[in-house]
Amino acid sequence: MNNQEKEAEKYIIDLHTHSTFSDGSCTPTELVKLAAETPNLRALALTDHDSIEGLDEFFEAGKQYPQLELISGVEVSTLYGSKELHLVGLFIDYHNEELRNFLNMLKKERLDRNIVMAKRLFSLGYEIDYNELPYHRDDSLGRVHFAKYIMEKYDFPSIQAVFDQLLKQGKSAFVGRNLPLPSEAIKVIKNAGGIAIWAHPIFQERSHARSYARRIIRKLKPFGLDGIECHYSMFSPAQTAALTEIAESLEVLGSGGSDFHGSNRPSVQLGVGGGFMHIPYCVLTKMKESLIKS
């Protein structure tokens, strides 16, 4: 390893974050400022849920911090069987018309779902006043905004407590989504010049997590899946090591990020997740090399 490579090793990256344009508490400008103040953080991607509307502000804010490398991104919700599967698109051309039309379709689906969810909450005794909901814009409104409002108005101890009692899958106010297939989302991401990454592939505990990850990668790789998140806030070192081995053996890229949401997920810090996440800059270098080859 030469001196330049040794110097790069101390730098970290974060390729999965959210702003007020989806369910984060920081504006894109605040997010960039926080990243610039985070020790050794040198690259940041904004990956709002089904939204690219914060990217103009994100890159404008980045002009004040030339040492920070900013990457355009999006996190797309898809449905694989009966489970949601999230795909992070990185290095996307966010002006791409096909991508914008696709995300507009998802925004409409989200708004329709919110109406049903509000009615269901009302039937359970939780009246929602849209004028008081803590959201940035209509098309960014989601479950976390409902949860934050209910927590404050109905004296729940935390946002998570609202999810656990009302809003997560299987609970009384949960409303499923009509989502695209992963193959459809991958196609759109690739057509917009991006890299398609499977986000938090073992986010939920599974008895056969490794075999499940391998199976899904093998299914989606022919459609253009480029990689998986090997590094994530909730992953143990053993999980990161296992996913890195799987990515290498199946010849897909490794990626990762904190899934930072600001005060809406206070246990997760930018760049380091729960405090121990370390994504070396070389992960990003490999991505750039793959883009050149493609």
What's the pLDDT at 4? 57
**pLDDT digits 0-9 by tens, 219-278:** 999 999 999 999 999 898 989 999 999 999 999 999 999 999 999 899 999 999 998 899
Q: How many domains does the chain have?
A: 2
Would residue 174 count as lying in a domain? no
Q: Using CA atoms, how far apart are residues 90 and 47, in angstroms rounded to an integer?
A: 8
Are 212 and 266 members of one domain?
A: yes
Rounded Cα distance between 53 and 272, Å, is 25
Residue 172 lies in a domain: no
Q: 72 has which bridge partners?
A: 46
Q: What are phi and psi of 175, to 5 degrees?
A: -125, 120
- In a domain? residue 54: yes
Whether residues 218 and 122 fall in one domain: no
Question: What is the CA angle 89-94-96, rounded to 5?
Answer: 110
Tokens of 122: 């009302």
pLDDT digits (tens, 9 = 90+) for 172-210: 999 988 899 999 999 999 999 999 999 999 855 555 788
**Residue 268 falls inside a structural domain:** yes
Average pLDDT, the chain: 92
Tell me the average pLDDT across 131-147.
75
Domain span including residue 162: 105-167
Q: Tell me which residue of 222, 221, 287 sits closest to 254, measured CA to CA.
A: 287
Selected residue with higher pLDDT from 225 and 111: 225
Q: Is residue 11 part of a domain?
A: yes
State the CATH number of the domain containing residue 264: 3.20.20.140
185 and 278 share one domain: yes
What is the tens place of the pLDDT at every residue in 41-68? 999 999 999 999 999 999 999 999 999 9
